[in-house]
Structure 1
Amino acid sequence: MTIDRIITIISRMIGQFIELVLVTVLIYLISSIPHIFIFIDQSNGWLVLISMAASVVVSYFGYRYLASKTTAIFERINLKKIGFIIIMLVLTRVLMDFIIPAIFGQNQDISLNQKMVESMFQQGGMVALLFKLNTVIIAPIIEEISFRGIIFEEAKPLGEVVQFIWPTFVFAAVHGPSTPEQWTVYLTAGALLMVVRLVTKKLQYSVMFHMAHNLMATVGL
């Protein structure tokens, strides 16, 4: 391989990575729009409802864009893949409830994302109910479309390793971890979601896994 060929390949990879970073930033900014309404007033049920409606709109256009790039979104329900999801959920609970706390200790600070979630649940009434629905249903859809969907597809030209690592890292970063334990929790969650996405071949199963995981976490709060 000539020097010119090597330079061309490296330049192309750098360009593709820069494009991936720009797409990631754009997706983050767009997906952050619904949160603006919650930040205005967490106790206002109407603003929470508007935030949820904005999330639905963002998810819809994200889905439309993703559907134009890949067919790996839906299929008829496969019971073997559902069984795999159940196994992964059990593994997730073991990791989150026993192994990670055993490594880092039981009394660790929670992340900014978790603080916001608990704050919203403590509002009580309609606000807490709406936010629980958002956490269990809407948030998994928008996050899977963003991370295991669009960003995953955009990372494809850079190879399978980048496809796995980049969405997993970005998923962890946007949840606001600030300690080694928090980074471990979110990187583990992101990696498990990516395993579900890769093994099942369809995004619908990582959405289902994400919803079930958030439901179990919500019930535990």
Structure 2
Amino acid sequence: MSLKNIILSIFKKVRQFFELILVTILIYMILLIPDVFLFTGNLNQYTWIRLVLNIIGGGLVAYFGYRYLVKQADVVFERLNSKKVGMSVIIFVITWLFLTFGLPALFEHNPLTGSNQHAIDTIFNHLTNWWTLLLFSFNIVVIGPIVEEVYFRGIMFEEAKPLGRIVQILWPTLMFALVHSPSTLEQWTNYLTAGGVLMIVRVVTKKLQYSIMFHSLHNLVALLS
């Protein structure tokens, strides 16, 4: 390969990486839209209305993200495959055991939650009615996983494809951890593990529906505990 071709190849990769950064920033801004209804102002005022708006906002974000993604690649749904479901469940159990018992043992204490999780816990503690709890749970278990999988393991994963398999896998995993605002090594380990395992499910099954199921189950168990 000539020097000219090498330079052109480098410039091409730099341009593609810059484009990926711009896509990542745009995704981050889009994901902030539903949270505006919950994380601003006094939590004691109009809680159920804010939860409904949060769900509607999240639903719209998921819908438009889905519409964009299906135009790029056929990676969202397929007829349910029992082997892939079983594999996803096994991976979930192993991951849950590690995060519940292995990670605290590794760091000799339970990891402190990041600012993102702290905000969720604060909202949860302000819920006093069963319908607000139901709305909040629906957002955590259904809307949240769909949105995050469509954008991280879906759109961002596909947009990173020109940069090679390593970047395609590592970049969405790192950004998934970063968006949850970890501030300690324990928190980084927690979110990188979760994001990495979700990426494994996505890559092995080749369909988002299984990582969405995995993510929803993870959030449900976390909510119940």
Taking structure 1 as the reference length, the TM-score comes to 0.97
Cα distance, 1:51 vs structure 2 = 1.1
Contact 1:113 1:176 (C-alpha < 8 Å) held by counterparts: yes
Shift of 1:159: 0.6
For residues 200 and 32 of structure 1, the distance between their equivalents in structure 2, rounded to whole angstroms, comes to 29
Q: Within 5 Å, give how 1:60-79 maps onto structure 2.
A: 60-79=63-82
Structure 2 partner of 1:178? 183
Query: Counterpart in 2 of 1:136?
Result: 141
Whether 2:14 is the aligned partner of 1:14: answer yes
Name the residue aligned to 1:53: 56
**2:125 corresponding residue in structure 1:** 122
Q: Deviations over 1:55-86 (max 9, x none)?
A: 10111000000000000111000000010011
**C-alpha deviation, 1:108, in angstroms:** 3.7
Structure 2: which amino acid aligns with 1:42? Answer: L
* Higher mean C-alpha displacement, 115-124 vs 200-209: 115-124
Alignment length (residue pairs): 220
Deviations 1:111-133 (A, max 9, x none): 11211121122122233321111
The equivalent residue for 1:163 is 168
Partner secondary structure for residue 94 of structure 2: helix
Per-residue displacement from partner, 1:168-189 (whole Å, max 9, x unpaired)? 0000000010000000000000
Contact 1:121–1:132 (8 Å) recurs in 2: no
Q: Does 1:191 align with 2:191?
A: no
Q: Secondary structure at the match of 1:37?
A: coil
Q: Distance in 2 between matches of 1:39 and 1:89?
A: 30
Does the CA contact (< 8 Å) of 1:120 and 1:127 recur in 2?
Answer: no
Partner of 2:24 in structure 1? 24
Contact kept in structure 2, 1:48 and 1:127, CA below 8 Å: yes
Q: Deviations over 1:78-109 (max 9, x none)?
A: 00001001111111111101111111122442
CA distance in 2, matches of 1:109, 1:200: 32
CA distance in 2 between partners of 1:57 and 1:33 (Å): 10
SS of 2:138's partner is helix
- Change in Cα spacing, 1:134 to 1:17, as seen in structure 2 (3 Å) is same
2:122 aligns to what SS in structure 1?
A: helix
Letter in 2 for 1:147: F
Question: Do the aligned partners of 2:76 and 2:208 also contact (CA within 8 Å) in 1?
Answer: yes
How many angstroms apart in 2 are the aligned matches of 1:127 and 1:120?
10
Distance in 2 (CA, whole Å) between partners of 1:50 and 1:131 is: 11
CA RMSD of aligned residues (A): 1.0
* Matched AA of 2:193: T
CA contact (8 A) 2:103 2:110 kept: no
Q: CA deviation at 1:215?
A: 0.6
- 213 and 107 in structure 1: CA distance in 2 versus 1, 3 angstrom threshold: closer
The one of 88, 93, 104 equivalent to 1:90 is 93
**Length-normalised TM-score, structure 2:** 0.95
Structure 1: stretches of 5+ with no match in the other structure = none
| Structure 1 moving runs of 4+ over 6 Å | none
Sequence identity (%): 49
Indicate how the Cα distance of structure 1 residues 133 and 115 shifts in structure 2: closer, same or farther if over 3 A, else same. Answer: same
Alignment of 1:205-220 (within 5 A): 205-220=210-225
Secondary structure of 1:38's counterpart equals: coil
